[in-house]
C-alpha cells in the first residue's frame, strides 16, 4: 500500500512543479502522460453517461478512418480511441488523451466518407493542439486537476464530462481554436488520402440543415461557432492547398450508415 501511495503522488507533485514556472507541451502544465491518464478517466465517465454504439462493423470502420488520420499527426505514437454515440442530434466531441466521439446523427448527415473524415480530423486536431486539456486547466485549479488524476475528486470529473457531453461551456472552444482545428484537420485528412473538400461539403450541409431542422444541429452550432465565416475560411484554405483528389466516397461507408442511423 505504501509503495502504491508513493507512486500515485508523482503526478500531483509534477503538476505543482510545472505550475510554478514552466509550461508543458502545447502550452499546458500537464504532461502528455497525465493528459492520457485523465482522458481515460473521463472516457469511463462518458461510457456511463451516454449510449455507445457496439456494432462491430460500424466501430471498426469509424476507427479505421480515424486511425488513418491519426497516423499522419505529430502524436501518431500515442493511443487514440474512436467511439460512436447513439444520439440523433448532430455533434461530435473529443476528450483529452485521444478519445474522439461522433454521434449517429452526424453520421446520418455526413453523406460521404470524406465528410466523416473531416469531422474526425477536426476533433483529432483539437487533441493534437491540446485544446480540451487547456480548458480543463482553465476551469479548474492545478490542485483540482491533481486531485482528479489521483481519483480523489470524482464529482469534479463527472461534472466536467457532463458539460462536454451536453455541449456546455467545457465543450466550446474559442474561434481561434476552431479555426486552427479546421486548418490542421484539412491538412491531416488530405495527408491521410481523403478529399479535404469533404469538410467544406459537410459544413454546407449542416448550415442548410440549420434552416430546416435547427433543433437537430443546435448542439453542433453551440460547439462550432461562426459557421459561415468558417466556410469562407475553409474555401480560402482549399484554394491555397490546390488539392483536387482523394477519397470522397466508399460503398462500405454507406453500409454502416444504414446499420446505425
Cα–Cα–Cα angle for 82, 169, 158, rounded to 5 degrees: 60
pLDDT digits (tens, 9 = 90+) for 209-220: 888 887 777 777
- pLDDT at residue 235, as a whole number: 92
pLDDT band per the 50, 70, 90 thresholds, residue 28: low
- pLDDT at residue 172, as a whole number: 73
Average confidence score pLDDT of the chain: 82
List of residues 6+ apart from 5 with CB closer than 8 A: none
List of residues 6+ apart from 3 with CB closer than 8 A: none
Q: Please give the distance of CA 219 from its chain centroid, rounded to a whole number.
A: 14
Percentage, residues of the chain above pLDDT 90: 52
pLDDT band per the 50, 70, 90 thresholds, residue 249: very high
φ, ψ of residue 189 to 5 degrees: the values are: -70, -35
pLDDT digits (tens, 9 = 90+) for 92-135: 999 999 999 999 999 999 999 999 999 999 999 999 999 988 87
pLDDT of residue 143 exceeding 70: no
Strand partners, 85: 52, 103
Strands (DSSP E) contained in 19-98 are 81-85, 92-95
- pLDDT at residue 150, as a whole number: 65
pLDDT digits (tens, 9 = 90+) for 51-89: 999 999 999 999 999 999 999 999 999 999 999 999 998
Per-residue pLDDT, averaged over 40-48, amounts to 93
The 3-state DSSP class for residue 150 equals coil
d(CA 110, CA 58): 14
- pLDDT at residue 216, as a whole number: 76
d(CA 188, CA 37): 25
d(CA 219, CA 236): 26
- pLDDT at residue 209, as a whole number: 86
pLDDT band per the 50, 70, 90 thresholds, residue 146: low
Cell of 130: 491540446
Cα–Cα distance list, 146 to 22, 23, 41, 88, 220 (Å): 17, 16, 13, 35, 31
| pTM of structure | 0.84
Angle between the N-to-C axes of helices 113-128 and 56-70, in degrees from 0 to 180, rounded to the nearest 10:
60
pLDDT digits (tens, 9 = 90+) for 219-241: 777 766 667 888 899 999 998 88
- pLDDT at residue 218, as a whole number: 75
The 3-state DSSP class for residue 157 equals helix
DSSP 25: G
d(CA 101, CA 52): 9
- pLDDT at residue 210, as a whole number: 82
pLDDT digits (tens, 9 = 90+) for 9-24: 333 333 322 332 223 3
Amino acid at each position: 500500500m505504501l509503495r502504491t501511495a508513493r507512486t500515485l503522488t508523482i503526478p500531483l507533485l509534477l503538476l505543482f512543479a510545472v505550475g510554478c514556472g514552466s509550461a508543458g507541451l502545447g502550452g499546458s502544465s500537464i504532461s502528455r502522460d497525465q493528459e492520457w491518464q485523465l482522458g481515460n478517466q473521463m472516457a469511463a465517465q462518458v461510457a456511463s453517461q451516454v449510449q455507445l454504439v457496439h456494432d462491430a462493423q460500424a466501430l471498426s470502420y469509424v476507427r479505421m478512418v480515424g486511425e488513418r488520420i491519426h497516423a499522419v499527426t505529430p502524436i501518431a505514437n500515442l493511443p487514440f480511441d474512436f467511439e460512436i454515440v447513439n444520439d440523433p442530434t448532430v455533434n461530435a466531441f473529443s476528450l483529452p488523451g485521444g478519445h474522439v466521439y461522433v454521434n449517429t446523427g452526424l453520421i446520418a448527415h455526413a453523406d460521404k466518407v470524406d465528410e466523416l473524415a473531416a469531422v474526425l480530423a477536426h476533433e483529432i486536431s483539437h487533441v493534437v493542439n491540446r485544446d480540451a486539456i487547456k480548458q480543463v486547466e482553465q476551469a479548474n485549479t492545478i490542485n483540482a486537476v491533481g486531485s482528479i488524476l489521483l481519483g480523489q475528486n470524482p464529482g469534479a470529473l463527472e461534472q466536467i464530462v457532463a458539460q462536454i457531453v451536453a455541449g456546455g461551456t467545457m465543450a466550446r472552444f474559442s474561434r481561434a481554436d476552431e479555426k486552427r482545428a479546421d486548418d490542421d484537420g484539412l491538412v491531416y485528412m488530405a495527408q491521410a488520402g481523403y478529399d479535404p473538400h469533404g469538410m467544406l461539403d459537410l459544413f454546407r450541409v449542416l448550415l442548410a440543415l440549420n434552416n430546416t431542422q435547427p433543433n437537430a444541429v443546435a448542439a453542433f452550432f453551440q460547439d462550432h461557432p461562426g459557421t459561415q465565416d468558417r466556410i469562407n475560411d475553409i474555401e480560402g484554405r482549399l484554394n491555397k492547398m490546390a488539392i483536387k483528389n482523394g477519397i470522397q466516397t466508399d460503398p462500405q461507408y454507406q453500409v454502416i450508415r444504414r446499420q446505425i442511423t
